[in-house]
Structure 1
C-alpha cells in the first residue's frame, strides 16, 4: 500500500512556496509518498490559519495520511514544532523542511522520554489536537502525557513556590514609604505597615522626601526591596525621572502614582516615565 502525505506550507504564498515545494515533491517521489494536498498557511510566526489546521486535523484524526510534511520559511515556528512532536506518537511520520532542505536536527535531540503537555498543544494548535494527543498517548511507555487538569495543578504549584520564595526573600528586608508632604507621613506609615504583614517583610519605614542625596543615604542604610510613594506632585519632570530611577537602582519594586497613571499592576514603570517625559 502506497504511503500518503499532506504538506503544510507555513509563511509562504503559493507562488513563494513553489520553488521549495519542488524539492519536497522530489523527496516524496523518491520515497514512495503520494501527496494528497498542500495546505498554504500564509500567516507569519506563531499566528494560525485555523482552516488549514482544521483540515490537517481531519487528515490526521481519520488516519488518511501516514506522513505530515511541514514546510516553512521560518527557522523556528511554534506550530511546526508542535506538529513535529507527533512523530513520537504511534502511526505518524512527520518531516520538517526549511527553505527546501530536510531538517534532521531534531533526530539527534530526541529524549528518552518525550513530554506532551495537552494545554500547550491546545494553545499552539487547537483543542482538537490536544484531544488527539490524549488518545494517541495512551499506553505508550516512552511518553509522558500531562493533561489539562495536571497542567493547571503544576502551574498552581509553581505559583505557590514562587510566592514562598518571594516571602523568604522579603523576610529580612523592608518596605520604604516616601511622601512629599509631611502631613501624609502618618497615613503612609500605616499603609506600609499593612504591606509589611501582607508581604511577610522584615520591617517598614516612612520618610518625607527632601532630595536625591538624602534618599540615596536612606536606601543604602537598610535592605529595602520595595519603595511605595504617595501622589507625586513634582513640577520638574526631570527630577521625577531621576527620583524613580534612583529608587530602581536600590530596590526590586517601585510603586507610585502620577495623576491617573499608576505603576501598581497597571502600567510598566518606565513606560509611564517615557509618557510623562516624552522619552527625554
Structure 2
C-alpha cells in the first residue's frame, strides 16, 4: 500500500503497552499493578512469561518488516509504566530453549515509551517526565546505539484514570474558573495553559535531556489525546471561551488540538505541539 501511493514508512512500533498485560498473558493484569500502587512486583516467572511471549513475536515481526521496508526503524511496544522498564531490560538477557543467550533488542532501533505526568503544576510535570525518562534510560539496554521514541505523551490525560481532577481548570489566582494549571507554590513556574505546558515540556524535558552532560537519546515525540465525548465531573471548573448554539461550553475536558465546536485546530496548542510559536 505505501509503495502504491509513493509513500514511505519511517518506523513500526511492535505492540502497545504490553507491560500492562505482558503479551496478553494476563501476567500481570492492570488490576494487579493497581493493587501494588503501580510499583514493580513481578516475579522472575512473570518476567519470563513476558520474554517468552514478546521476544519471539518481536523478532518475527522485525524480520518480516525489514524484508518489505528495509529502511524503516523498528521500535518496541510503547512502555506505559515507569516501574515496568525492567521488562525491556529482560529482553536483552533472554535464553532460548537450549539455554543459549539471546538479546531480542538486537532487532530494534529504539524503545517506545508513553509519558503521562501526574502533576497540576508545570514544575512538577517537568520533574515527573524527566524522572520517568531518566529511570527508563537507567534500564533500557544499548542506549548508546538506540533511541527513545515517545510515542504517546500529554500533560493532562493522566487525570482520566488517576482519580484526580482536571489539571487545567484554574484561573491565575488558582480558583476553579479557567483553563490554566496551578502556579508552583515556590514560584518556579507560573500558572500555564496547555500550550504553555507543552512548550515547557519540549524545552525543559526533551531539549534539556538531549543536550545534558549525560544525554538521553530522544528521537521522535508524539502527542496523544484522550478527549471526552461529553461533560465530566473531573472538569467541573473548566471554562472555555468557545460557545456552541450560543451557550458557553462547561464541564468539558479537551486534551487534544481540536476545537470541539468547529472542528478547527486550536492554533496555540497545535503550534506548541509542532514546536513553533502560536500563529
TM-score bucket of the superposed structures, by smaller chain? under 0.3
Which of these two proteins has the greater Rg computed from alpha carbons? 1
Higher RCO (C-alpha under 8 Å, 6+ residues apart): 2
TM-score by length of 2: 0.22
- Greater share of strand: 1
